[in-house]
Amino acid sequence: MASTLIRLCSKSTSTICRRMIAQPRLIRNYAEAAAAPVAQPGQMVFTFAAPDEAYYQESTKVKQVDVPTGTGFIGILASHVPTFGVLKPGVLTVMESEGAVNKYFVSSGTYAINEDSTVQINAEEAVPIDALDKELAKSCLHKAQSELSSASTDIEKAEAQVAIQTYEEILAA
Amino acid sequence: MKMISAAKFAQAQKAIVPARAYGVGAMSLYDKTTVPAEENEKKVFVAISSDRGLCGALHSNLSRALKAEFEKETREDTKIISVGEKSKVFFQTANSKDLLMEFKEVGRNPPTFVDCAFIADQMLKSGFEFNSGKFFYNYFKSAMSQIIKEQPFYSVEGFSKSPSITVYDSIDEDVVQSYQEFQLANAVFYTLKENYTSEQGARMVSMDGATKNAGEMIDRMSLLYNRTRQAVITTELIEIISGMTAL
């Protein structure tokens, strides 16, 4: 009788043991960082940021972006041919898939369109277009023009020309 | 002490979010293209640190990591640039000949893009024709943990030789040049920003320790003070009482 009891006990412990092993180990871990979105066909992964403000971060809800570049205006749609280059002062237009159109003024910066349809635009300065003060830009333009006429070295001249170009673009925006 | 650094840390932590979006975006072209390493190419290693201490072993760990990498390279073809006094102090004893440039006045205020453009400009004007290089910086994971990371960068020639560059359309010399110059400033900005935030985090932790230690010290000192006071009172009482009994 006693021996059967022991046998029963040992049998039951072994099943418990087996059950314990079979269970997955429960360990708490940190959550994995969310994977970067991958562009589906007809989509682009769009990032647009200035040093102190990120306007779009890996957004897939953008249809088209018009960018002022050093070699002229370009319109970026999904699966654009890969290229990169620098920005020129002007208005950058972002057209979202849901119809909203956002306009930003960019001073300078870089853009890159990659093979996997990711698009990065990094502007040195970028502000929404309605945050610009045109009166101030006008007075600054006059100042820059007088600086250009009084500039003696090539570097000073180039600097004044860049300023004039930027202010003119602000006024035209 | 902890409160001041905590306030600064909170500010830096807020600023890192857009700066990281900017920096990661700027660096993604380097992630997507591979630039083959060449024989005998000239390199610069840039230590991103700051002028200010009291943040644990942050700067010396970084400098040590850079030095370990530096020892693997040929000496004549590799130079070190220090951004911030702390890394300069580390390198000026043993590697004073390898130091190409040093930048001061870093870390007092949050880094701005203008400062970084200046650093990048000076690097290009240094007269040392580097093909590639690396920024060593502390990546901000949390206030408690900072990870030393490397951010590679390339010169115009170095980058133009990359085989994966051919997939990019309508690229000429001019475009690559201005892009690369801008990219260098972007890289300085991103790494400096990460490092600044890491530093504030590390400082907050070490200041917390300092405040706690000061608390312990105050407790110990006030105990000593009270005991001494008690001893003085007791001696005076004994003197008075023994004087009275003598009368």
The complex's ipTM? 0.77
pLDDT of residue A19: 53
pLDDT (0 to 100) of residue B173: 82
Nearest CA in chain B to A119: B25
- Is A128 in CB contact (< 8 Å) with chain B? no
Residues of B in contact with A109 (CB under 8 A): 182
User: Is A38 within the bounds of a domain?
Assistant: no
Chain A: residue whose CA lies nearest to B193: A51
Q: At A44, which helix (H) or strand (E)? A: none
Whether residues A68 and A122 fall in one domain: yes
Average of per-residue pLDDT across A72-81? 90
Cβ contact, residue pair B182, A121, below 8 Å: no
Q: Are residues A138 and A126 in the same domain?
A: no
Helix, strand or coil, per DSSP, at residue A73: strand
Q: Does B225 touch chain A (CB under 8 A)?
A: no
CB atoms within 10 A of CB B9: 21
Distances (CA, A) of B124 to B46, B114, B185: 13, 15, 10
Is the pLDDT at A21 greater than 70? The verdict is no
Q: Are residues A97 and A165 in the same domain?
A: no
Is A7 inside any structural domain?
no
Residue A27 covered by a domain: no
| A119 in the same domain as A144 | no
**Domain range enclosing A141:** 134-172
The structural domain count of chain A equals 2
Q: Which CATH number covers residue A77?
A: 2.60.15.10
**Is there a single domain that holds both residue A63 and residue A108?**
yes
Please identify which residue in the block is written with the tokens 């972006």. A65
Picking from A52, A86, A112, the nearest residue to B18 by CB comes out as A52
B191 touching A (Cβ < 8 Å): no
Token pair belonging to B66: 């850079």
Angle formed by the axes of helices B2-32 and B173-246, nearest 10°: 160
Please give the average per-residue pLDDT across A77-93, as a whole number. Answer: 90
The answer to whether B247 contacts chain A (CB < 8 Å) is: no
Separation CA B175–CA B189 (nearest Å)? 21
Using a CB-CB distance cutoff of 8 angstroms, which residues of chain A are in contact with residue B28? 47, 112, 114, 118, 120
Query: Do A109 and A165 share a structural domain?
Result: no
**Closest chain A CA to residue B17:** A54
Pair A99, A60 in one domain: yes
Whether residues B18 and A124 touch (CB distance < 8 A) is answered with no
Q: What is the pLDDT along chain B (247 residues), one digit of tens a residue?
A: 888 999 999 999 999 999 999 998 888 888 888 777 777 788 999 999 999 988 889 999 999 999 999 999 888 889 999 999 999 999 998 888 899 999 998 988 899 999 999 999 999 998 888 888 999 999 999 988 999 999 999 888 888 878 778 888 877 788 888 888 899 999 999 999 999 999 999 999 999 999 899 999 999 999 999 999 999 999 999 999 999 999 8
In A151-171, which positions are buried (b, 16+ CB within 10 angstroms) versus exposed (e)?
A: eeeeeeeeebeebbebbebbe
Task: Judge: A122–B22 Cβ closer than 8 Å, yes or no.
Answer: yes
Q: Please report whether residue A40 resides in a domain.
A: no
With respect to residue A70, please indicate whether it lies within any of the assigned structural domains: yes
Considering the domain architecture, whether residues A99 and A141 belong to the same structural domain is answered as: no
Q: Judge if A121 and A151 occupy the same domain.
A: no
What pLDDT score does B225 carry? 97
Residue A15 lies in a domain: no
- Provide the whole-model pTM: 0.82
Question: Is the same domain home to A107 and A63?
Answer: yes
Let me know whether A98 and A168 are in one domain: no
Identity of the residue in B21, B170, B179 whose CB atom sits nearest the CB atom of A49: B21
The answer as to whether A16 is a domain residue is no
The whole-number average pLDDT for the span A80-88 is: 90
Task: Give the pLDDT score at B37.
Answer: 75
Q: What pLDDT, on a 0 to 100 scale, did the predictor assign at position B200?
A: 94
- What is the C-alpha separation between B247 and B232, in angstroms, rounded? 23
Structural domains in chain B, sorted by start: 2-204 (3.40.1380.10)
Binary contact (A115, B186; C-beta < 8 A): no
A11 — pLDDT class (breaks 50, 70, 90): low
- Contact call for A57 and B21, based on CB within 8 A: yes
Q: Examine the domain organization and report whether A55 and A100 are in the same domain.
A: yes
